[in-house]
């Protein structure tokens, strides 16, 4: 039986979490506001598209994924006040004007024969960018001070990977001709260029790079 | 993509054939009056003791299936059609997204149940009236029409089907309907709560929403398909409606409206049959 | 001999049915089932969407059918050739069972239990499928289960009935399928 009086190290030998992180509270809140805005636009688009796609399996998947992204936006909405932003709507903003144009282009397809374009926009462009932005955040934020964000990121990333796989498989099953390969690629390129301009879900620096902030938090 | 998607454009594959309420009500044939020529009142309640029980249950199950598709589409559209904050609260949209997921599962369940019962996708005509109730430009009217009237009907239908499965000893049917019923009670309650919250300081808007609900309730009585009367295949599930937030007065109102719809439909059928007989003479 | 089929009414007012199609389908079935010596009368009740069917078997086989039994459920009030063939075929097979198929001691239709009716339907529809008429076996299995229970035993009875071609009433009853 362990001796209750014997002092133990506060961090177990296998606990290798580190205190420093790339983001201060303000930067973390800004990013999370961008995430919330983008997740909202995504769940709204998925919900809107349900009525426009004739493929029953796609229709059901979009309805299911719609909720997952709504839940992600709710997680971010709840996180913002914990980051000193008592008015979450203030930070619920697109990263920049290019991101607004990206969402407009993403949600433009409506006709029933454009399911490939709808899915490509979400599963080959938008969600991969969510995954990269979230992964960067998870790997660079303080593992101790920002643990609540990391916990949400872990849940959300699991969803994003699952949905990405679902969506990619739907796209592959819908593409049956060389022309359709071209259609998918062309739409992906159009949207990727807009996303490039936007710099990612949280703007330039979404996945680090030259403009990412330096380590600030201890 | 447009906001406010028209019912005529609902996307379906070739298996489906869509009809409107007008098409349905234009059918001069009716089960409601088929026994009355012999001077007896019909008992059309859907139970296993009916000779055509299996086929009637299959037909109703397909109606549930397409209703779930439209409910999914309606909830999804409410996520998209209104601007967050200015037109619809963020939390309302979250609830609608949750409902979209629930309805998507209901579509999945309905497909599996239909397969179990020997029904093919699209085997019966799809009445698009449910989505029409989800097309209002006021989210409060959508909540009244879809969450309270349509999902209220779903409570009645699922209760009838659950009892059918229980009586027939069909564990699969009873199990599925039980779960779907739980979700529908949640959706109706969601509608009741939002209706109260959004119209708390706007009695005129609340009045309009409740009037719209009354119209939809009558429409969703499908000319007497749902009422307290044994002549209607589907009964009124009073206990589950109570759980979902309907007051006793509201349930009585729905019972009266349904009864009225039944009587009106019977009268209309009698008129149409007389006219058709005259045309054939 | 296949030309001895009469359909009434010849013109429909409540539904868009084609009397000639009903006649053609029935003639084809009569021929396939070897019932050519019996005049067949089909009386359609177009005032109800229900799908009940009854038959009087004498020198003439008289089939009374409600419009729902011949209808295309995808397109209300329109006729389905497949539904017409399945409905008329089932009744003609039942008539043949009684006339020449060893079902002489079977109770009259009105005295049959719901379980017996369900079992007889299975026996008929299985044979129709082998005649080349498209049917959904699961539909009939579901109906059979509703009357005989949702169990492995009921399913085994269903499979034997579906695969049978020339049962007598005694054999039919012995299969356990006619249990009330």
Q: Are residues C46 and C122 in the same domain?
A: no
**Does residue A216 register a pLDDT over 50?**
no
Instruction: State both tokens at B88.
Output: 């619809």
Q: Are residues C93 and C120 in the same domain?
A: no
Per-residue confidence band for C68, with pLDDT thresholds at 50, 70 and 90: very high
Q: Are residues C72 and C114 in the same domain?
A: no
Q: Are residues C82 and C21 in the same domain?
A: yes
H/E element, B241: helix B238-243
**Does residue A42 register a pLDDT over 50?**
yes
Give the pLDDT confidence of A131-184 residue by residue, as tens digits.
Answer: 999 999 999 999 999 999 999 999 999 999 999 999 999 999 999 999 999 999
**pTM confidence score:** 0.90
B73: CB partners within 8 A, 6+ apart: A50, A51, A59, B10, B131, B134
pLDDT given for residue A187 in this prediction: 98
Q: Is residue B217 part of a domain?
A: yes
Measured between beta carbons, the chain B residues lying within 8 angstroms of A109 are 1
Give the pLDDT confidence of C78-131 residue by residue, as tens digits.
Answer: 999 999 999 999 999 999 999 987 898 899 999 999 999 999 999 999 999 999
Residue at which a domain ends, from C70, C100, C130 = C100
Domain that holds residue B99: 47-280
Give the pLDDT confidence of C40-63 residue by residue, as tens digits.
Answer: 999 999 988 889 999 999 889 999
Q: Are residues C148 and C94 in the same domain?
A: no
Q: Check C76 against B280: CB less than 8 A apart.
A: no
Domain that holds residue C56: 5-100
Q: Is residue B270 part of a domain?
A: yes
Measured between beta carbons, the chain B residues lying within 8 angstroms of A74 are 94
When scoring A38, A45, A46, A51 by the number of chain B Cβ atoms within 10 A, the one with the most, hence best to mutate, is A51
More confident residue, C13 or A114: A114
Separation between Cα atoms, residue B21 and residue B221, nearest integer Å: 12
Q: Are residues C70 and C133 in the same domain?
A: no
Q: Are residues C94 and C31 in the same domain?
A: yes
Radius of gyration of chain A (CA): 20
pLDDT given for residue B22 in this prediction: 77
Q: Is residue C166 part of a domain?
A: yes
Q: Is residue C179 part of a domain?
A: no
Measured between beta carbons, the chain B residues lying within 8 angstroms of A63 are 72, 75-76, 100-101, 103-104, 107
Give percent of chain A with pLDDT exceeding 70: 95
pLDDT given for residue A218 in this prediction: 42
C28: CB partners within 8 A, 6+ apart: C2, C85
Q: What is the mean pLDDT of chain A?
A: 94
Q: What is the mean pLDDT of residues A193-210?
A: 93
Give the pLDDT confidence of C129-178 residue by residue, as tens digits.
Answer: 999 999 999 999 999 999 999 999 999 999 999 999 989 999 998 876 54
Q: Are residues C9 and C56 in the same domain?
A: yes
Q: Is residue C148 part of a domain?
A: yes
Separation between Cα atoms, residue C5 and residue C24, nearest integer Å: 9
Is the distance from CB of A38 to CB of A62 less than 8 angstroms? Answer: no
Domain count, chain C: 2
Q: What is the mean pLDDT of residues A103-119?
A: 98
Interface of C with B (CB under 8 A): 9, 11, 13-15, 46-52, 67, 73-77, 114, 117, 136-143, 145-146, 149-150
Separation between Cα atoms, residue B245 and residue C160, nearest integer Å: 51
Instruction: Tell me the CA end-to-end span of chain A in Å, nearest whole number.
Output: 37
Separation between Cα atoms, residue A45 and residue B248, nearest integer Å: 39
**Mind spelling out the 3-state secondary structure of chain A?**
CCCCCCCCCCCCCCCCCCCCECCCHHHHHHHHHHHHHHHHHHHHHHHHHHCCCCCHHHHHHHHHHHHHHHHHHHHHHHHHHHHCCCCHHHHCCCCCHHHHHHHHHHCCCCCHHHHHHHHHHHHHHHHHHHHHHHHHHHHHCCCCCCHHHHHHHHHHHHHHHHHHHHHHHHHHHHCCCHHHHHHHHHHHHHHHHHHHHHCCCCCCCCCCCCCCCCCCEC
pLDDT given for residue A217 in this prediction: 41
Strand partners, B84: B88
**Does residue A214 register a pLDDT over 80?**
no
Q: Is residue C86 part of a domain?
A: yes
pLDDT given for residue A145 in this prediction: 95
Q: Are residues C80 and C155 in the same domain?
A: no
Find the helix packing angle between B151-168 and B171-198, rounded to 10°: 160
Could you give the domains of chain A? 25-198 (1.20.1260.10)
Q: Which of B121, B119, B125 is nearest to B27 (CA)?
A: B125
Separation between Cα atoms, residue C122 and residue B55, nearest integer Å: 14
Instruction: Tell me the CA end-to-end span of chain C in Å, nearest whole number.
Output: 39
Report the residue of chain B nearest A89, measured CA to CA: B85
Q: Do chains C and A touch (3 or more CB pairs under 8 A)?
A: no
- Alpha-carbon gap: B146 to the closest alpha carbon of chain A (Å): 16
State how beta strands C53-57 and C61-66 pair: antiparallel
Strand partners, C61: C40, C57
Domain count, chain B: 1
- Alpha-carbon gap: C113 to the closest alpha carbon of chain B (Å): 10
B86: CB partners within 8 A, 6+ apart: none
Separation between Cα atoms, residue B6 and residue A209, nearest integer Å: 46
Phi, psi of B220 (to 5 degrees): -80, -5
Q: Are residues C51 and C80 in the same domain?
A: yes
Q: Which of A30, A78, A25, A43 is nearest to A205 (CA)?
A: A30
Q: Is residue C180 part of a domain?
A: no
Residue at which a domain ends, from C56, C72, C100 = C100
Q: Are residues C14 and C91 in the same domain?
A: yes
| Cβ count near A135 (within 10 Å) | 14
- DSSP labels for B139-186? HHHHIIIIIIIIHHHHHHHHHHHHHHHHHHT-HHHHHHHHHHHHHHHH
- Alpha-carbon gap: B252 to the closest alpha carbon of chain A (Å): 34
- Is cis: bond before B8, omega within 30 of 0? no
Place of tokens 């043949």: C96
Per-residue confidence band for C180, with pLDDT thresholds at 50, 70 and 90: very low
Q: Is residue C142 part of a domain?
A: yes
Measured between beta carbons, the chain A residues lying within 8 angstroms of B10 are 51
Q: Do chains A and B touch (3 or more CB pairs under 8 A)?
A: yes
Give the CATH number, domain containing residue B201: 1.10.620.20
Alpha carbons within 13 A on the beta-carbon side of A121: 24
* Per-residue pLDDT tens digits of chain B, which is 281 residues long: 999 999 999 999 999 999 887 777 778 777 665 555 445 556 678 899 888 899 999 999 999 999 999 999 999 999 999 999 999 999 999 999 999 999 999 999 999 999 999 999 999 999 998 898 888 899 999 988 888 888 888 888 899 999 999 999 999 999 999 999 999 889 988 998 999 899 999 999 999 988 888 888 777 776 677 777 777 778 888 877 777 778 888 888 878 877 787 777 777 777 777 776 666 66
Q: Check A110 against B2: CB less than 8 A apart.
A: yes
Instruction: State both tokens at A211.
Output: 């403009």
Residue at which a domain ends, from C100, C119, C153 = C100
Q: Are residues C74 and C10 in the same domain?
A: yes
Alpha carbons within 13 A on the beta-carbon side of C15: 28
């Amino acid at each position: 039986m362990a001796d209750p009086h014997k002092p133990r190290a506060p961090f177990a030998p296998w606990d290798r979490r580190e205190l420093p992180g790339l983001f201060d509270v303000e930067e973390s809140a800004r990013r999370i506001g961008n995430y919330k805005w983008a997740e909202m636009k995504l769940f709204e688009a998925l919900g809107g598209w349900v009525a426009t796609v004739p493929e029953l399996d796609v229709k059901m998947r979009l309805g299911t994924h719609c909720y997952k992204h709504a839940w992600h936006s709710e997680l971010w909405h709840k996180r913002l006040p914990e980051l000193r932003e008592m008015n979450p709507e203030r930070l619920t903003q697109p990263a920049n004007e290019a991101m607004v144009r990206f969402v407009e282009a993403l949600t433009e397809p409506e006709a029933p024969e454009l399911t490939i374009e709808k899915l490509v926009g979400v599963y080959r462009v938008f969600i991969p960018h969510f995954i990269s932005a979230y992964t960067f955040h998870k790997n660079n934020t303080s593992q101790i001070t920002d643990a609540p964000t990391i916990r949400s990121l872990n849940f959300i990333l699991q969803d994003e990977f699952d949905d990405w796989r679902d969506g990619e498989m739907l796209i592959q099953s819908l593409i049956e001709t060389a022309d359709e390969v071209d259609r998918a690629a062309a739409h992906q390129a159009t949207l990727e260029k807009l996303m490039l301009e936007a710099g990612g879900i949280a703007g330039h620096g979404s996945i680090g790079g030259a403009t990412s902030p330096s380590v600030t938090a201890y | 993509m447009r906001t406010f998607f028209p019912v005529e454009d609902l996307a379906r594959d070739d298996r489906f054939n869509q009809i409107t309420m007008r098409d349905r009500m234009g059918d001069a044939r009716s089960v409601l009056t088929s026994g009355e020529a012999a001077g007896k009142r019909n008992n059309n309640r859907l139970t296993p003791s009916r000779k055509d029980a299996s086929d009637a249950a299959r037909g109703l199950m397909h109606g549930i299936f397409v209703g779930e598709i439209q409910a999914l589409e309606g909830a999804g559209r409410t996520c998209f059609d209104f601007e967050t904050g200015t037109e619809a609260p963020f939390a309302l949209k979250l609830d609608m997204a949750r409902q979209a997921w629930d309805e998507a599962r209901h579509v999945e369940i309905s497909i599996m149940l239909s397969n179990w019962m020997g029904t093919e996708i699209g085997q019966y005509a799809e009445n698009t009236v449910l989505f029409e109730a989800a097309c209002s430009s006021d989210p409060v009217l959508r909540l009244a029409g879809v969450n309270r009237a349509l999902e209220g009907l779903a409570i009645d239908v699922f209760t009838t089907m659950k009892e059918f499965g229980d009586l027939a000893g069909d564990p699969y049917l009873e199990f599925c309907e039980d779960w779907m019923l739980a979700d529908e009670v949640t959706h109706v309650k969601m509608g009741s709560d939002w209706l109260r919250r959004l119209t708390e300081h706007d009695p005129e808007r609340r009045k309009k929403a409740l009037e719209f609900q009354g119209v939809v309730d009558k429409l969703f009585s499908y000319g007497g398909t749902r009422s307290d009367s044994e002549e209607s295949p589907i009964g009124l599930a009073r206990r589950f409606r109570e759980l979902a937030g309907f007051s006793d007065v509201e349930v009585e109102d729905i019972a009266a409206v349904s009864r009225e719809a039944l009587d009106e439909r019977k009268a209309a059928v009698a008129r149409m049959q007389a006219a058709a007989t005259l045309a054939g003479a | 001999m296949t030309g001895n089929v009469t359909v009434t009414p010849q013109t429909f007012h409540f539904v868009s049915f084609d009397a000639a199609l009903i006649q053609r389908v029935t003639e084809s079935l009569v021929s396939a089932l070897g019932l050519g010596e019996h005049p067949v009368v089909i009386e359609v009740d177009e005032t109800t969407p229900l799908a009940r069917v009854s038959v009087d078997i004498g020198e003439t086989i008289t089939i009374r059918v409600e419009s729902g039994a011949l209808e295309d459920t995808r397109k209300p009030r329109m006729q389905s050739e497949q539904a017409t063939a399945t409905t008329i075929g089932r009744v003609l097979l039942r008539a043949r069972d009684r006339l020449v198929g060893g079902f002489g001691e079977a109770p009259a239709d009105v005295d049959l239990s719901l379980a017996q009716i369900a079992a007889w339907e299975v026996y008929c529809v299985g044979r129709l499928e082998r005649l080349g008429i498209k049917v959904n076996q699961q539909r009939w299995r579901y109906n059979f289960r509703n009357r005989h229970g949702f169990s492995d035993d009921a399913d085994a009875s269903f499979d034997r009935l579906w695969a049978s071609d020339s049962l007598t009433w005694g054999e039919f009853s012995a299969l356990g399928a006619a249990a009330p």
